[in-house]
Structure 1
Amino acid sequence: MTRILVVDDHALIRKGLKLILDETLDLQVTGEAESGVQAISMAREQRYDLILLDISLPDKHGIDVLKQLKLDHPDIRVIMLSMHPEDHYGVRSLKAGALGYLNKQSAPDQLVDAIRQVLSGQKYISKSMAEQLLNSLIGESRELLHQTLSNREYQTLCLISSGRTLSEIADSMTLSPKTVSVYRTRMLEKMGFKNNAEAIHYAITHHLVETS
């Protein structure tokens, strides 16, 4: 039996994933975590064959959690889940050590296929993400401004655009406000923006943040 840890701060999402996997004969959700810290702790206390990890957690960014999980358990298999399109975090997740990236709106069969492919020792890459990777390798892709940012700079952009203050962002990223301010400055410089308002407008226009 394959033991799976589901990490998501929404109970309904965790329940839905469990129901999908319970319909299989060999995949079983044996652990649930609602935060990054809890996921890291549970993975240290018990062995899991695979982790389904939400990229948007309340305490830590999913990519930061992924990096810590890989430090603790280099061979751990992780599939990232997100409401964001693949061009936002897909390639970043793979570079950080994930073996797959799935949009939460994917069909149940696609989730199961992705899990089985990762368990077989392969990476799960959708057709659109494979195209992105190929284009970047042969130099035919035109990088959008946000794709030039480091992970920390990109997180800062998204959190500022979500209405967070520097101190709130610092708490979320477990950094000092001064360090976050440095990331903000670098982000604005790389993107050629003069202030937060221009960055927020860009993020909303490119659907990098959820708007009601």
Structure 2
Amino acid sequence: MLVHDHPIVLSGLSALIESEDGLELVATARTAAEARAVTIEPDVAVLDLGLPDGDGIELGAMLKLTWPGLRVVVLTMHADDQAVIRSLGAGLDGYLLKDSDPEDVLAAIHSAARGTLVLGRGASGAVVAAAASAPRTDALGALDARDLEILELLVQGLPTSQVAARLFLAPKTVRNRVSEMLAKLGVASRDEAIALGQAGGLGRS
């Protein structure tokens, strides 16, 4: 499935996919709403990062909830490490730039379909190196409601003392909960937990 709001780009990508043996284009959409209305389950969705009615990363995460076997690749003009990190944190399966060679786009679709994480030139070397071992935001599901409250405040930049005051807890209790949270998330530092929370959408309120 292709999701892109520019007709020329959508037409070009459609022609590229239809020309490739082993690939079949089952649906196209120009908005997030059209993508959500698709009833044919695709194996891979290629999404633009910016859509007229929504964010491609959020749409991709929602589509993966609808179709758990779906692989999602972001195709964008933005070479942005934070967008790459947010994509990976949302559980998406690839990030490519629109100026990638056609062969690279096709290879990325095939790789994503096999379950391989795809990172093109839109990601820096540091992000690519970290991606192999980075936990996904589905790890947030290991946290209970109190953990999420604490992590939300940490993502907002509050120090331990203010987190404790907001939640009517002792600072020592917060520190202990944070230590337990790191173990649940499988990360080694508070900064990594905060980055994971940001990728999962915490701290936006």
Pairwise TM-score range, normalised by the shorter structure: 0.5 to 0.7
Aligned partner of 1:77 among 65, 71, 96: 71
- Work out whether residues 90 and 129 of structure 1, in 8 Å CA contact, stay in contact via their aligned partners in 2: no
- Deviation digits for residues 59-79 of structure 1 (CA, Å, limit 9, x no counterpart): 011111112112211221111
- Deviation digits for residues 62-112 of structure 1 (CA, Å, limit 9, x no counterpart): 111112112211221111111100414112111111111111111101101
Query: If the length of structure 2 is used for normalisation, what is the TM-score?
Result: 0.61
Identical counterparts, % of pairs: 28
Moved over 2 A (4+): 125-131, 133-138, 147-154
Q: C-alpha separation between the residues in 2 aligned to 1:149 and 1:46?
A: 32
Query: Measured at CA, do residues 72 and 130 of structure 1 come closer, stay the same or move farther in structure 2, by a change above 3 Å?
Result: farther
Query: Measured at CA, do residues 74 and 18 of structure 1 come closer, stay the same or move farther in structure 2, by a change above 3 Å?
Result: same
- Work out whether residues 97 and 120 of structure 2, in 8 Å CA contact, stay in contact via their aligned partners in 1: no
- 1:106 aligns to what? 100
Q: CA deviation at 1:34?
A: 0.6
State the secondary structure of the residue aligned to 1:81.
strand
State the secondary structure of the residue aligned to 2:50.
coil
- Work out whether residues 86 and 103 of structure 1, in 8 Å CA contact, stay in contact via their aligned partners in 2: no
Q: C-alpha separation between the residues in 1 aligned to 2:73 and 2:58?
A: 14
Q: CA deviation at 1:149?
A: 9.0
- 2:48 aligns to what? 54
Unaligned runs of 5+ residues in structure 1 are 155-181, 187-212
Query: Measured at CA, do residues 51 and 135 of structure 1 come closer, stay the same or move farther in structure 2, by a change above 3 Å?
Result: closer
Query: Which letter does structure 1 place at the counterpart of 2:102?
Result: P
Q: How does 1:59-208 map to 2 (within 5 A)?
A: 59-126=53-120, 128-129=123-124, 131-134=126-129, 150=198, 183=204
- Deviation digits for residues 112-157 of structure 1 (CA, Å, limit 9, x no counterpart): 111111112211123744532435879xxxx9xxx89936989xxx
Alignment RMSD (CA, Å): 3.0
Query: If the length of structure 1 is used for normalisation, what is the TM-score?
Result: 0.59
Residues paired across the two proteins, number:
145
- Deviation digits for residues 34-79 of structure 1 (CA, Å, limit 9, x no counterpart): 111110110xx11111111111001011111112112211221111
